[in-house]
């Protein structure tokens, strides 16, 4: 109950869910499905643990435009959003955040 799992994800607003989906059908297997190259999306971070859900946090600039998650922005989110949320939840004991190996999570300035 002291581990917080978290990650960020892109949610495409055109309905695209996963570019790796494969469709098996009896019709033409070489059919081409056109997709928009740079569809609108939101990038959202969320954490969860036995105490509940932390977030969501939307990575966007002051104008509300989606921004790429890099180590500086990830660090800022941790300091300005995540830590205050933990304090609001009155977490007294030491807890651990579990991240994947993404560069923004493992950069020197983030650790």
Q: Is residue 108 part of a domain?
A: no
Please list the residues that pair with 19 across neighbouring strands: none
Number of domains in the chain: 1
Q: What is the pLDDT of residues 27-38, one digit of tens each?
A: 766 767 676 677
Q: Is residue 77 part of a domain?
A: yes
Q: Is residue 92 part of a domain?
A: yes
Residue 100 is predicted with a pLDDT of 61
Please list the residues that pair with 96 across neighbouring strands: 3
CATH number at residue 15: 3.30.420.10
Q: Read off the pLDDT band of 10 (50, 70, 90).
A: confident
Please give the backbone phi and psi of residue 36, each rounded to the nearest 5 degrees, phi first: -70, 135
Q: Domain limits at 75? A: 2-98
Distance CA 106, CA 100 (A): 9
């Amino acid at each position: 109950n002291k581990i917080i799992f978290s990650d960020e994800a892109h949610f495409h607003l055109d309905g695209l869910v996963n570019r790796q989906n494969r469709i098996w059908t009896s019709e033409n297997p070489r059919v081409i499905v056109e997709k928009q190259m740079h569809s609108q999306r939101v990038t959202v971070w969320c954490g969860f643990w036995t105490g509940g859900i932390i977030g969501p946090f939307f990575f966007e600039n002051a104008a509300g435009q989606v921004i790429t998650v890099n180590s500086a922005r990830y660090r800022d989110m941790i300091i300005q959003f995540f830590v205050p949320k933990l304090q609001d939840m009155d977490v007294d004991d030491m807890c651990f955040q579990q991240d994947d190996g993404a560069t923004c999570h493992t950069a020197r300035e983030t650790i």
